[in-house]
Amino acid sequence: MSPPPQLYWRKFTRDGTFDQDTLADGKFLAENFTDFFGRWLQEGDNSNVSTCHDLVMKFWDGNNDKPKYDVNTFAVADAGWFSRKKRPDWTWLTPSLRFLTVVKLNHKESISTSPDEWTLFIVGSSRPTNKYKFLQRHTFEKETPAEYQAWNYFGHSRDAFGDASYLGPFNGHVNGACIMKELHEPWMHWLGNETSSFKNALSPDDVKEFQNLPWITLEDDDPLSAINTNPGDLEDDIKRGVDRWFDTRRLLDYFSSPDQIKENPSNLPRWVAHLFLTTTINIGSALSNGSGGKYILPPNHLYDSELLSTVSTNLMPKLPQILFDESDYKQAVKNLQLCILVSADDGEKADITLPWNFLGGDRRDDPKFENLRFMKLQENSEGLSPFNILHASHEDALGVQKMQSIQKLPDSNSTAPESFIGLFSAQTFNAIMMVDFWNPIYSWKRGILMQYVPLDTRFDGKQYDLDARFIEKVKGSPNAKITDTPEYEFLQLLNAKPETHQKAILAYFEAIQARMKKDPVGTLEDYLTLAESRRRIYRPLPLDEFGPTMPFALKYPDPNVPMYLEMTPNGTTRDIPPRGRTFLSKWTSNLSGVDPQILPSKEDEPSKAPVAIDALPKPSGLAAPCQATTSQGGSGPPKGCPFMSAKSTAKSTNGNTSAKVASVILTPEKSPTWADDILPLIQTPYWVSGDPAKKGQGWIAMMIKWGNWNLASYDDVKERAVSIYRHLRTTSMPITGNPQNYWPKEALEMFRNWVNAGFPRDSSDCPSPEILIPKPIDAQETFKIRRDIMSLSREELAVYQSKLDDILQVGALGSKWQELGQLHAYWCLHYQEATFLWHRAYLLYVEKLIGFPIPYWNGYASEAADPTSSFAGIPPMFLEDKYIHPVDRSERPNPLKFALALNGHSKSGKGEFVTRSSTLTEGPSSRHWKRTIGLFKLYHRQIEHALRQSTYTSSHTAEHSGVPWAYITTFSDHQKNKLYPYRFDFDGLFEQVHDNFHGWVGPDMADNTYTAFDPIFLSYHANMDRLAGIFIDAHPESQFTSGFPLQPFINNGTDISYHDPRRWCYTTIGDMAKDTRSLGYMYSAPTSPDVATPQSAAEQGIVSPRASGGQAISLPAGIPGHPEAKQGNGAIKPTTASPVDKEPSVVFTEVGCTTSSYRIDVFTAGAQSLVPDITTNPDFIGQVTRIGMGRGRRGDGPPNSGRCRKPAATRVLPAGEFKEKLSEGSDVKIVVTNLETGEEVAEQEYVKMPGFTPKVVWLAK
């Protein structure tokens, strides 16, 4: 005979060790088993109940005319709509049917707050007469009972905010709700009017099981005929329970007595989490609007309708319904390949293999198996109802409503709206709600704002200080001035009126309607993909309860590829930015661990190491996790878990599960292994751009090539593991120009944990751990990413435009924009080594002001020279009239076009705003379009020529070596080589083509006094900086005049000083002439590829530059002792010079600054046409632009003329393809045009200016 059942209580350790089950003594029972069911278990033989049927029948009195209890049962099934007639061969398929029975005293209110009234919820599986199958997840049905029965107490519902938070029954059911996560029509998986009957899904065994159970099937009636088919009745109970639970919760936390508010409330962060986070989730779908084939897009998918319909606020305008046609929806579903999946039977062929935790619930027979096989239960469908979504929960909405209405304020005016004391003012609450309004769940922006909420607050008798302290902390954040951050967005919204918020909301809905009207299928596909993204964020969490109830998009079959999407204010979807992905990944990782935390850690706090697959908790199924699973009832070590089961342990017994709320063994956190974790990180890195497998294979091949060892080899990686980690963490590996390819923190931490665990090969390997890589204490660098402006979405571009608009005020006199333009006009450096490095500092200073990386305009894109390409000409965003401000959604003049010129007077004199070439503003319709765009072929050749050089610049002494060209009296195609010890330098060649671009955009860009007032200047110079950076990176041994000051910049270009006499404090060439990452920024790859670029140092195999020097004397070639000297008997052997192939170049010497800007068009001496058109004139050699320093803002001469070197620079046009035409003589024709007046300059005038007389020089190839 078995001993009587025993009552235990559970302590959750939260550290990966066994939870502790303790036999409840009399004191514990008296203090905790105080509710109806706790007392009932101690009465008579009640605790001997071992089946769900027996437990329900304890209260069933259906034959009594005056029953004592009201027993109401509801049924739910994941696949209740499935018809076995369609697949009679799938005998193994179960609809996953469960029952929820609600018991209360007859004629009493359910969920009553009276101590004499109670409500009991009993959850049972599809086999109510089997022992130990109630309070039970259907996924555990293969488990077996213990030797004897035990009941385990998991805690009081108020513990949902305490130490048991998110453990045991409080995992996913923490806010007073029982089980129900679908609270609205059309009741996708509850047996009801909409779902008709589960009859066709039932197996013969199901029918036999239910036929004789009076609380499930009426006598002589169909199976399930006794079930309540109105889930709305249960909805009322659930909502009433949530409401009263929060009332009690509020009373406990905010009041010292029923009418007296505490000075310091309790559990503040957990209350506020309901507003900032998604603490629980509901599911829903679209409803028919009553007309044939029309459905209403679920409002909860577009905004938090659940919360805003619950909380009293003046935020919401009247919104229209968004309708869609069933035919369009079906096409979108087909495009996404949405389907319902179920675990495949062993004998069936799987349609897809997925990780065990991807569809919710743990269906592994053995926890060692990481992947599971699934079959398509229904194809091109979401199941019973269209447009399945996850949406914000009723529990979160009630939590916010309660914390915003802590106590009603007295008001003598009975007609005025009620007002309450709340944690946040109405103004602050509205601003929080409008932050990422378009993303009602998993909003990374609101989640990040959560870190600024104080952990406590004080009530002064009138209000809480939480509101003011929260705002103050946000304002104090470094991100508060960076426009596209949640911090900045919140502060901007804080001062907006409700009418402004309503206007933004209406504009959002209008944008959605416009999209639905223009492209209904594409728009629906976007919104269904957004729903899929939200499911994928949610599904690995322990809160996942729905498994195959929710659809899966086979269009995106690889769950290892992150899918982070968000809605935008204009009704489009986009990828969540890196900061958001990091937040969500870190938060969900913490929530999924053995110590789950709903409150996110601060951004500067390291996240916990990724948990191995065996250590991940199993997502909960239907009822409270870990309920009614095998336990020894307290004998022996407790086998506890927060919400996780180890089925392999449960297999030691046979039959059914024990009847109790108990626990199973918690597997301690498992170390990463080579086979399961590390090798996949190498072979298929999930975070990279492009194909992960292809990228991983490339890494492996490169290390075999360069290091002669194999990244896919366990022994090779183990031998070099510490070094590999150091290279990965310092981002010297992998060799890449794309920052997305660097290993993320989570992957690095997994690698470090594997090393420290002793390099385990697989789960059966148990080496001795040793700390070889200590936990790093320095934070990993983050870089601003300057992106190709053509790659920016409309929303991303609007953020940049708003920076120019709000911070620099490009349209206002006396603004920062005017100051920046004059800073450039008076201080920029040209015709020297410092030119591009000074502009690098200038861009850094502008970025510091606006808090946003400047997007670059890639004039070196190969397509930019194609007149038919969208990349030809000035980028379109510089020509548009309007843009939509990202914060207040107002339509404003486009600052990229309407920027105020110098003192409000453009160079052309045609208005107050900067002006550009009319050919470029007219576009392809201009008759000169093809000729103008064709010039880019010349410019591209010039850039390519500059990038091919080996030196950045030449020192003063090197410039003067050899014979000056002025001393050579005659030029021919066979000049002696000794006359030309020439060397091309990158800086001079690059500045030459740089000037061409300025003149090409003109007129304001063509004059140095005006040029920086045109916003295109920033994007143009960002690209020139990118190309200069490519050259510097390709030549790490370049020498620079490192101490030369780049005034007026200080602090590495991030600030300025106009008056400091200490020359040493200024930013120098040496500060700027280095890898951009050391300056805090990088460039993303161009949208249209560059024409050609040199290999980076890393791609050349140069790990680091070699230090030079140490010689007392450098011997020239041919002198004894020099490596090139060939000695014989102490004498130098003569060498025989080989013939050298030469080609002509057109060279301008003694080039210096001018006041006006000029264009020099160069033609062969015999040219019949002097039209500078590369496409039609075969005698057009090229073009040199001389950007003038301008006449200054007062017109009295070039500002600060000392910034230019004296006439000593050179300009060169390679003319190799004109070799035949130049071989007969040394002359060329030139046409000089004054860009300010547009008039041709006479020869007798330009020969008086330095550097305008060309020479044809034959140089060795």
pLDDT tens for 1074-1120 read: 999 889 999 999 999 999 999 888 777 665 676 665 545 444 443 33
Contact 894, 880 (CB under 8 A): yes
Same domain, 1027 and 908: yes
- 922, 824: one domain: yes
Other CB atoms within 10 Å distance of the CB of residue 918: 13
Query: Which band of pLDDT confidence, cut at 50, 70 and 90, is reported for residue 966?
Result: very low
* Mean pLDDT computed over 115-119: 81
Residue 64 has pLDDT above 50, yes or no: yes
Tens digits of per-residue pLDDT, 994-1049?
A: 888 998 998 899 888 899 999 999 999 999 999 999 999 999 888 898 899 999 99
**Is 845 a domain residue?**
yes
Looking at the structure, tell me whether residues 876 and 1020 fall in a common domain: yes
Q: What pLDDT sits at residue 1224?
A: 52
- Predicted local confidence at residue 1135, as pLDDT: 36
For 916, the domain range is: 784-952+983-1083
The per-residue pLDDT for 167 is 59
Say how far apart CA 1254 and CA 1261 lie, in whole Å: 20
Residues 817 and 861 in one domain: yes
Instruction: Tell me the three state secondary structure of residue 1239.
Output: coil
**Are 896 and 938 members of one domain?**
yes
pTM exceeds 0.75 for this model: no
Note the pLDDT tens digit of each residue in 897-931. Answer: 999 999 999 987 788 999 999 999 999 999 999 99
Query: Same domain, yes or no, for 944 and 1033?
Result: yes
Q: Are residues 899 and 1017 in the same domain?
A: yes
Asked, for residue 89, whether it belongs to a domain, the answer is no
According to the model, what pLDDT value does residue 768 have? Answer: 77
pLDDT tens digit string along 1050-1059? 999 999 998 8
Question: Can you give the pLDDT at residue 1193?
Answer: 58
Domain boundary pick from 764, 782, 800: 782
Task: Tell me: pLDDT of 127 over 50.
Answer: yes
For residue 1141, what pLDDT is reported? 75
> From CA 731, how far away is CA 778, in angstroms rounded?
14
Of residues 737 and 49, more confidently modeled: 49
State the average pLDDT for the chain.
80
Neighbours of 584 (CB within 10 A): 20
Return the DSSP state at 806.
Answer: I
What is the mean predicted confidence (pLDDT) over 1060-1064?
85
Reported as a pLDDT band with limits 50, 70 and 90, residue 609 is very low
Both 778 and 793 in one domain: the answer is no
The yes-or-no verdict on residue 358 having pLDDT over 60 is yes
Domain-located, residue 1170:
yes
Which of the four pLDDT bands, split at 50, 70 and 90, describes residue 683?
Answer: very high
Q: Which of 226-240, 538-552, 662-676 has the highest mean pLDDT?
A: 226-240
pLDDT of residue 1132: 30
- Decide if pLDDT at 656 tops 70: no
Percent of the chain predicted with pLDDT > 90: 39
* pLDDT of amino acid 245: 84
Does residue 715 fall inside a structural domain?
yes
Residues 1186 and 1160 in one domain: yes
All residues at 6 or more sequence positions from 759 whose CB lies less than 8 Å from its CB, including other chains: 674, 714, 718, 721, 767
E strand or H helix at 936:
helix 929-947
Nearest to 1182 by CA among 929, 996, 916, 918: 996
What is residue 657's three-state secondary structure?
coil
pLDDT above 60 (res 1123): no
Confidence of residue 653 (pLDDT cuts 50, 70, 90): very low
Does the pLDDT value for residue 740 go beyond 90?
no
Whole-number pLDDT of residue 799: 94
Whether the pLDDT of residue 555 is over 80: the answer is yes
Greater confidence, 1261 or 405? 405
The answer to whether residue 393 is domain-embedded is: no
For residue 600, the model assigns a pLDDT of: 86
Give the pLDDT band (50/70/90) at residue 688. Answer: confident
Per-residue pLDDT at 63 exceeds 80:
no
**Residue 1256: CATH number of its domain:** 2.60.310
**Cα–Cα dist 609/1043, whole Å:** 45
Which of 1055, 1083, 1111 is the last residue before a domain boundary?
1083
Q: Is the pLDDT of residue 489 over 90?
A: yes
DSSP-derived 3-state class of residue 142: coil
Residue 1158 lies in a domain: yes
Say how many domains are in the chain.
Answer: 3
The residue with greater pLDDT, 1071 or 36, is: 1071
CB 615 within 8 A of CB 640: no
Which amino acid is located at 840 in the chain? Answer: R
**What pLDDT digit, counting tens, does each position of 711-736 carry?**
999 999 999 999 899 888 888 788 77
pLDDT tens string 189-232: 777 754 456 888 888 888 899 988 999 998 888 888 899 888 88
Q: Distance (Å, rounded) from C-alpha 198 to C-alpha 196?
A: 7
Q: How many CB atoms lie within 10 A of CB 472?
A: 12
The confidence band for 661, taking pLDDT boundaries of 50, 70 and 90, is very low
pLDDT of residue 975: 35
The answer to whether 639 and 649 have CB atoms below 8 angstroms apart is yes
Residue 377: in which H helix or E strand, if any? strand 371-379
Residue 535 lies in a domain: no
**Looking at the predicted structure, is the pLDDT value of residue 1203 above 70?**
no
121 forms beta bridges with: 102
Q: Are 1060 and 1163 found together in one domain?
A: no
What pLDDT band is residue 272 in, cutting at 50, 70 and 90? very high
Q: Can you give the pLDDT at residue 837?
A: 95
Q: Is residue 995 part of a domain?
A: yes
Q: Which two tokens stand for residue 1098?
A: 């890393």
Higher pLDDT, 159 or 735: 735
pLDDT-wise least confident of 165-174, 373-382, 779-788: 165-174
The helix/strand/coil state of 261 is strand
How many Å apart are CA 967 and CA 1028, to the nearest integer? 34
Q: Does 734 sit behind a cis peptide bond, omega within 30 degrees of 0 on the bond before it?
A: yes
Mapped onto helix, strand or coil, the DSSP state of residue 286 is: coil
Residue 416 has what pLDDT? 47
| Neighbour tally for 654: CB within 10 Å | 9
pLDDT at 78 over 70: yes
SS3 assignment, position 1083: strand
Residue found by looking up tokens 């009801």 in the block: 192
Task: Check residue 838 and give its pLDDT.
Answer: 95
Does the pLDDT at position 646 exceed 60? Answer: no
Rounded distance between C-alpha atoms, residue 221 and residue 213, angstroms: 11
Please, which pLDDT band fits residue 980 given cuts at 50, 70 and 90? Answer: very low
How many separate helices (H) and strands (E) can be counted in the chain?
Answer: 34, 37
The pairing of beta strand 891-893 with beta strand 1254-1260 = unpaired
1016 and 874, same domain (yes or no): yes
Q: 641 pLDDT exceeds 70?
A: no
Q: Is the Cβ–Cβ distance between 360 and 539 less than 8 Å?
A: yes
Domain boundary (1042, 1058, 1083) is at 1083
| Per-residue pLDDT at 565 exceeds 60 | yes
899-915 burial, b at 16+ Cβ within 10 Å, e below that, comes to: bbbbeeebbbeeeebbb
Q: Are 1157 and 1242 found together in one domain?
A: yes
